[in-house]
Structure 1
Amino acid sequence: MDIRLVGKASSRRAVLKGAGAFSALAITGLAAPAVAQSKDLSIISDLGNPEQRDVLQRVAAEFEKKSGAKVVINNMEHEAHKTAIRSYLVVGAPDICIWFSGNRMRAFVQRGLFDDISDLFERENYKDVLGVTTAAVSVGGKQYGLPLGGLLWGMYYRKDVFTEKNWTPPATLSDLMMLGENAKSAGMIPVSMGTKGLWPAAGWFDHMNLRINGLEHHLGLMDGKVPYTDASLKPVFDKWEELIKANMFTPDHTSYAWEPAGAALAQKKAAMMDLAAFIKSAFPAEDRDQIGYAAFPEIVPGMKRYEDYSVNSIHIPKNAKNKELARDFLAHFYQPENLAAYTEAEGSVPPRNDCPPSKDPLVSSAYAQFKTIAGTAQYYDRDTDPDMAQEGLKGFQEFMAKPERRSEILDRLEKTRQRIFK
């Protein structure tokens, strides 16, 4: 088995080589992924969590012994992968890749770039063990991927810090502002934030909009039915701007990815962080039992609780060379014990109802919280058109850095919406 970690700088410079029937994805500075042969299986992943990479490596090694195939895993930096996949699905496709479910998946299905694996669902009776989660990877009644773990987003904090300072997780936005003042008095950042990768700012927007306008409105915006200049969004940005001007977020957050922002929480330099359970990878193993979860604060009294619950997925590209071998690998990877180990490493809720019980209290907490939720979105850049998402991510980051540019930002997003959702 060959596992390659692809660094950020080189992975963005994907070069497509070859002509006619032969093509391969070459990555500057590294050998290109192996060209699929009859007994070779190529996988592209974007796993930043080393524990998840270890599980995938173990499962691949087992599959090699079982099948006699050679498995080549190219692990790309997460943000670089979002760019590279647009090219490699067209030419030089691997046999398997990790991506997102929902609209992000649907965009590639509509372009004919993900393979229909309904036959694998039928063969392995996956619908019986997945239930409603099947919908996350379905388009037109057909399945185009397997759902991986579900991530429930919310406010994370250190239980020992809150106990020591006699703090309580904020139930309302006013509570959050008060906690922020207490955190600043203690020399801490109220809410740790790293927007260098853009998407964390969009998660904050999701929560604000879901708490103020509800799920139907939010999904209407994601589907291009609500203008970004609509009056309904004014209170969202008003409240957000209040938080920004109160210095609730990490200074110079545009310079940091989510990992150092998570480390600030782990190191007791910040009070809270809006993220999902994969935040545990920013904590030393001995401190993970101190991670606490709370729902994002209420803003409009009486608004039902709607949350982001994002589901990653694994796919066979339409242009893969070894589709049958890829199906056999997915069937092996998706065995309850293997899938449970993979989701446990991330802190996500297993999609199969026959997976072994989780030993992770964060997973147990997320599962318990899930029962109290009135409805779910996925996440901004999963729920809307990919091109709209990219502009939205940039706009939200810019707003957090320069809230005085609100009008220009929203006008720009509205023009993008009108162009995309004709």
Structure 2
Amino acid sequence: MASKNEHSLINAIRASRRQFIVGTGAALAATALYRPAIANGGEVTIISDIGNADQRAVLERIAADFTKKTGTKVTINNMDHEAHKTAIRSYLVVGAPDICFWFSGNRMKAFVDRGLFDDISDLFAKEGYSDKLGATMTAVTVNGKQYGLPLGGILWGLFYRKDVFAAKGWTAPKNWDDFLKFGEAAKSAGMTPISMGTKELWPTGGWFDHMNLRINGLDKHLALMEGKIPYTDPMLKPVFDKWEELIKANFFSASGPSFGWEQAGAALAQKKAAMMDLGGFIKSAFPASDHEQLAYAPFPEIVPGIERYEDFSVNSVHIPAKAKNRQGARDFLAYFYQPDNLGAFLEAEGAIPPRNDCPPSKDPMVNVAVESLKTVKGTSQYYDRDTDPDMAQDGMKGFQEFTIKPERRDQILARLEKTRARIFK
């Protein structure tokens, strides 16, 4: 999100997105950087928003191990992911924990600009993180200082069941014509071509990103995110033309607006839908016995000649500026960020590690993502991470409305343009 108070770092972050690290998930020898501090007692409080039960269990295990090594009690309070997006705006001001989970990039920067996240450049220097993170370090950097640790990256794209595609003789669509033919084949088989649950709004942002990146490319997409291009600009007409073509062809779930992403994911798992546009965490909607059936394909090409650009969103963990135990928080993060611990934490989610020295993944989908990213020309984060939060909220509401009433396109885009003009003065 390009905040209202743009800084020169935005250009650096944009540049880094065009130079995505190749081999992010490479298997190198795991080297523990953390040296336990002398037992100091005290307490470190954490607020997380982890929906994955296995990942929560890993965090709790890491916390328990840290307590045994240091004598510092660690208290973890886990919140609902959507509720946390609202709660963090309050607790960072009053009642801040010592550590909290959030998003990197411009959504982090909004709190940095308000002085609500602590500068942890000292931790980066002490632990030598710059040598291990490469370009992903820019996702948590503002004006040359670091304000968080990048967590797992999520590659977004189309997911499907291998067994269904094998039984139907289908292959993942590579271009728009293939995509339209695939949709007709899926409907003939009694399946929804694309499962999409838009109750939480953000899945519409991902769909818009893919359409816009495939039609207009990364530079124009990021310029729109930064408020430099109007929502009424002619460049967006083919984006919504193509999207409307799919809506009128009944590509999407009829109950999409009332479905959460998990319900939409369950439709894919249950073979009621043929594909779904999401991140690798979609596997949590599948029973463990079906994880091996999950497959990934890039969103199809729309305009020939446009390079392949993808959303690659990176979560992060932070120390609030008003934390009571900032040194204890640094000690815990150093331990948590040890390659073996971070690797185990991300393994439970199926996320791509930001460090280049984490153990190899046991999840073949992570390895597929790593290989796929080697062919990506550049990356953005995600619609609601790349633009101002208020712009993102109105934008995703508008996108959801468009999926229900595409004939309202002009009114929706005019409304979004008013929001853009007000925010990006």
TM-score, shorter chain, exceeding 0.5: yes
1:396 corresponds to 2:399: yes
Confirm or deny: 8 A CA contact 1:38 1:322 kept in the other structure: no
- In structure 1, C-alpha distance between the alignment counterparts of 2:400 and 2:100, rounded to whole Å: 28
Deviation at 1:69? 2.1
Deviation at 1:38? 7.1
- In structure 1, C-alpha distance between the alignment counterparts of 2:142 and 2:198, rounded to whole Å: 32
The aligned runs of 1:269-418 (5 Å cut-off) are 269-418=272-421
- In structure 1, C-alpha distance between the alignment counterparts of 2:360 and 2:67, rounded to whole Å: 28
Percent identical across equivalent pairs? 72
What does residue 101 of structure 1 align with?
104
1:70 corresponds to 2:81: no
Confirm or deny: 8 A CA contact 2:102 2:315 kept in the other structure: yes
What does residue 226 of structure 1 align with?
229
Confirm or deny: 8 A CA contact 1:195 1:397 kept in the other structure: yes
Indicate the SS of the match to 1:229.
coil
1:244 alignment partner, one of 238, 242, 247: 247
- In structure 2, C-alpha distance between the alignment counterparts of 1:393 and 1:47, rounded to whole Å: 23
- Cα deviation 1:240-287 (Å, max 9, x = unaligned): 011011110111211111011111111111100001110111111111
What does residue 123 of structure 2 align with?
120
- In structure 1, C-alpha distance between the alignment counterparts of 2:255 and 2:168, rounded to whole Å: 26
Confirm or deny: 8 A CA contact 1:138 1:144 kept in the other structure: yes
Q: Counterpart amino acid of 1:408?
A: Q
Confirm or deny: 8 A CA contact 2:41 2:73 kept in the other structure: no
Q: Counterpart amino acid of 1:398?
A: E
- In structure 1, C-alpha distance between the alignment counterparts of 2:41 and 2:91, rounded to whole Å: 20
The aligned runs of 1:173-184 (5 Å cut-off) are 173-184=176-187
Deviation at 1:347? 1.1
- In structure 2, C-alpha distance between the alignment counterparts of 1:268 and 1:327, rounded to whole Å: 46
Structure 1: which 5+ runs fail to align?
1-36
- Cα deviation 1:157-203 (Å, max 9, x = unaligned): 00110000000101112211211111111111110100111000110
- In structure 1, C-alpha distance between the alignment counterparts of 2:63 and 2:277, rounded to whole Å: 33
1:57 alignment partner, one of 60, 63, 68: 60
What does residue 45 of structure 2 align with?
42
- In structure 2, C-alpha distance between the alignment counterparts of 1:393 and 1:400, rounded to whole Å: 11
Indicate the SS of the match to 1:346.
coil
Confirm or deny: 8 A CA contact 1:229 1:410 kept in the other structure: yes
What does residue 86 of structure 2 align with?
83
Stretch of structure 1 that moved more, 370-379 or 55-64: 55-64
Confirm or deny: 8 A CA contact 2:41 2:71 kept in the other structure: no
1:144 corresponds to 2:147: yes
The count of aligned residue pairs is 386
Deviation at 1:386? 1.0
- Cα deviation 1:17-59 (Å, max 9, x = unaligned): xxxxxxxxxxxxxxxxxxxx97121111111111111111111
Q: Counterpart amino acid of 2:295?
A: G
Confirm or deny: 8 A CA contact 1:173 1:297 kept in the other structure: yes
- In structure 2, C-alpha distance between the alignment counterparts of 1:252 and 1:268, rounded to whole Å: 16
Confirm or deny: 8 A CA contact 2:140 2:146 kept in the other structure: yes
TM-score, structure 2 as length reference? 0.90
- In structure 1, C-alpha distance between the alignment counterparts of 2:362 and 2:243, rounded to whole Å: 36
What does residue 262 of structure 2 align with?
259
- In structure 2, C-alpha distance between the alignment counterparts of 1:212 and 1:287, rounded to whole Å: 34
Structure 2: which 5+ runs fail to align?
1-39
Confirm or deny: 8 A CA contact 2:157 2:277 kept in the other structure: yes
Q: Counterpart amino acid of 2:72?
A: A
What does residue 201 of structure 1 align with?
204
Deviation at 1:67? 2.0
Q: Counterpart amino acid of 2:241?
A: D
What does residue 34 of structure 2 align with?
none
Higher relative contact order (CA 8 A, sep 6+): 2
Indicate the SS of the match to 1:191.
strand
Stretch of structure 1 that moved more, 41-50 or 191-200: 41-50
2:422 alignment partner, one of 410, 419, 422: 419
Indicate the SS of the match to 1:79.
helix
Indicate the SS of the match to 1:297.
coil
Confirm or deny: 8 A CA contact 2:214 2:309 kept in the other structure: yes
Deviation at 1:114? 0.5
- Cα deviation 1:339-371 (Å, max 9, x = unaligned): 001111111110111111111110000000111
Runs of at least 4 residues off by over 3 Å: none
- In structure 2, C-alpha distance between the alignment counterparts of 1:291 and 1:331, rounded to whole Å: 34
What does residue 19 of structure 1 align with?
none
